[in-house]
Amino acid sequence: MARWHWHYRHGAQRASGVAGRRHAALSLRVIGHLRKALPEGAADRAQHPDRLRLAYLGLRRVPRSRRHVDFRRRQSRDDDDCDRWPFDQRRFDWLLQFPGDRDRDDRLHDFRCVTARHAVFLLSRGKRSAIEGQIVPFLSVLATAILACTAWNISQGMSPPVALRLSAFNVTSIMTDTGFATADFSTWGSFAVGLFFMLYLVGGCAGSTAGAIKIFRWQILFEGVGRALRLMLYPQAIVPVRFQGKSVDDVAISNVRNFFFLYIMTLLFMSLLVMATGLDYLSAISSVAQAMANAGPGLGPVVGPATNFASIPDTAKWLIAFAMVIGRLELVTFLVVLQPWFWRR
């Protein structure tokens, strides 16, 4: 079970006056939320090593000499030293640790210490704030994909605990574009291959480092399709498209549609170029899809999780790297720079 540590990190300047009182009030409010979630005596680490616990609340100043220390050099091999990472600004920081035997999962130590930034602000703003926006759709898609993949693996003869563990880890890794894999999911059958390819296109929430199309664009896109279907039945009706409780104008809807069209066309065009280098269809389209989403492993025996990209031709590597740059810049920025009118004064 996961272990939660809660810290308050203080950066280059100390909070004072109204700002200091605001941060102190927010700290006390978050502590109240956390203490209500804790079972009786769960704050004691010795009594409850695997339950949600409040580790400590501390205010500290990060020295200037430690603000730009290399991340991996500063990362400790001890779970209790995860609070030593340097930060340059005041922020709330939750450290999610996955305990386990280091002899077994030492290679996944970088994955065992995960930072979840804005969760404390969602808690401090109340339950309504925590369930609105993109979080519920993202978690719904993630849970549905995990259950579907688990059911498929069980139907293929895999034991339920193993199927749930492998499906949950790999589906979450691909959808969040983390890049880890604990099994060769490209050998799980055609349904699993199709499911993971669709997850390449989903992505995370806005503001995250995840790539692909992202959840908020899918929400606006489906809302726009729903409005179009209603207008076909009721041409005179006024059907607004809403996102996070606010009306979305037609320009924003058009921008989302244009981005979706450009993303799919770029994926197909780059896949065609990679196939011209000699790769098969599955390897080519999955390698381009994972590159544009920055997801990590592809699909198939050539670029799947059990292999790497070393065996593919050099031309294909350059094309995939180019697709990765396009996906990281989210298409529009890259295409705007290529326009002649951008370079005119």
Mean pLDDT of the chain: 71
Q: Can you read off the two tokens belonging to residue 304?
A: 């799947």
Q: Where is pLDDT greater, at 235 or 27? A: 235
Please answer whether residues 39 and 120 qualify as being in contact, where contact means their C-beta atoms are separated by less than 8 angstroms: no
Q: Which two tokens stand for residue 117?
A: 């930034």
Higher-confidence position of 245 and 124: 245
Tell whether the model's pLDDT for residue 280 goes beyond 80.
yes
Give the pLDDT band of residue 27 (cuts 50, 70, 90). low
- Give the C-alpha separation, 280 to 178, whole Å: 25
DSSP helix/strand/coil, 247: strand
Give the integer Cα–Cα distance in Å for 85 and 69: 9
Predicted pLDDT of residue 317? 92
Whether the predicted pLDDT of 189 surpasses 50: yes
66, pLDDT greater than 90? no
Q: What are the CA-CA distances from residue 237 to residues 21, 224, 229, 233 (Å)?
A: 50, 14, 11, 9
The pLDDT value given to residue 132: 56
Stronger pLDDT, 337 or 221, i.e. the higher one: 221
Lowest mean pLDDT among 2-11, 139-148, 184-193, 269-278: 2-11
Distance CA 37, CA 28 (A): 14
- Give the lowest-confidence range in 69-78, 88-97, 210-219, 297-306: 88-97
What per-residue confidence (pLDDT) applies to 103?
44
| pLDDT beyond 60 at 211 | yes
Polymer length in residues for the chain: 345
Q: Is the pLDDT of residue 191 over 50?
A: yes
By DSSP bridging, strand 3-9 and strand 91-97 are antiparallel
**Distances 272 to 21, 190, 284, 335 between C-alpha atoms, Å:** 58, 22, 8, 19
State the pLDDT confidence band at 160, using cuts at 50, 70 and 90: very high
Report the alpha-carbon distance of residue 261 to residue 97 in Å, rounded: 39
Query: Is 33's pLDDT higher than 80?
Result: no
Report the distance separating Cα 250 and Cα 256, nearest Å: 10
Are 326 and 211 a contacting pair, CB within 8 Å? no
What token pair was written down for 51?
Answer: 């339950």
pTM of structure: 0.63
Token digits of residue 23: 């941060």
Q: Mean pLDDT throughout 45-69? A: 38
Q: What is the dihedral of CA 331, 332, 338, 339, to 10 degrees?
A: 150
Distance between CA 245 and CA 261 in Å, rounded?
26
CA angle 240, 241, 242 (to 5 degrees): 110
Round to whole Å and give the CA distance between 10 and 92. 9
With cut-offs at 50, 70 and 90, classify the pLDDT of residue 243: confident
